[in-house]
Amino acid sequence: MEPHENTGHPRRWAILGVLVISLLVVVLDNTILNVALRTLADPVHGLGASQGELEWAINSYTLVFAGLLFTFGVLGDRLGRKRFLMVGLALFGLASLLSAYAQDPGQLIATRALMGVGGAAIMPVTLSIISNVFDPRERAKAIGIWAGAVGLAVAIGPVLGGALLEHYWWGSVFLINVPVVVLGVVLVAALVPESRDPKPGRVDVLGVLLSVVGLVALTYGIIDGGEHGFDRPRVWLAIVGGLAVLGWFVAHELRSDHPSLDVRLFRVPRFAAPVALVGLVFFAAMGVMFFGAFYLQLVRGYSPLESGLLFLPFAAAQLIFAPRSAAMVRRYGGRAVAGVGLLLTAAALGAFVLIDADTPIWIFSALGFVQGAGMANIMPPATESIMSALPREKAGVGSAVSNTVRQVAGALGVAVLGSVLSAVYRNDVASAVSGLPGPVRDAAEESISGAYAVADRLGAGAPRLIDAANTSFVSAMHWAAGVSALVALLGFVIVLRWMPGRPVIETEARPATERELAGTA
Residue 508 has pLDDT above 60, yes or no: no
pLDDT at 58 (0 to 100): 75
Alpha helices of 3-135 — where are they, by DSSP H? 12-32, 37-41, 51-79, 81-100, 105-133
pLDDT at 91: 94
Q: State pLDDT tens for residues 400-409.
A: 677 667 767 7
pLDDT at 151: 65
pLDDT-derived band of residue 511, with 50, 70 and 90 as boundaries? very low
* Secondary structure element (H or E) that encloses residue 402, with its range: helix 395-433
- Per DSSP, 457 falls in state G
For residues 235 and 344, what is the distance between their CA atoms, to the nearest angstrom? 35
What one-character-per-residue DSSP string does 271-325 give?
A: HHHHHHHHHHHHHHHHHHHHHHHHIIIIIS---HHHHHHHTHHHHHHHHHHGGGH
Mean pLDDT of the chain: 79
pLDDT at 518 (0 to 100): 46
CA nearest to 299, candidates 459, 482, 421: 421
CB-count burial class (<10 Å; 0-12, 13-18, 19+) for 72: buried
**pLDDT of res. 1:** 42
Assess whether pLDDT exceeds 80 at residue 63: no
Is the predicted pLDDT of residue 394 greater than 80, yes or no? Answer: no
Global pTM reads 0.71
Cβ neighbours for 195, distance < 8 A, ≥ 6 positions apart = 80, 81, 82, 128, 129, 132, 133
Instruction: Give the number of other Cβ atoms within 10 Å of residue 206's Cβ.
Output: 14
Residue 414 DSSP SS3: helix
Most trustworthy range by pLDDT among 231-240, 435-444, 495-504:
231-240
Helices (H), 322-394: 325-332, 334-351, 361-376, 379-388
Contact 181, 89 (CB under 8 A): yes
- Inform me whether the pLDDT recorded for 395 exceeds 50: yes
Query: How far is 462 from 445, CA to CA, in rounded Å?
Result: 15
pLDDT bracket for residue 501 (50, 70, 90)? low
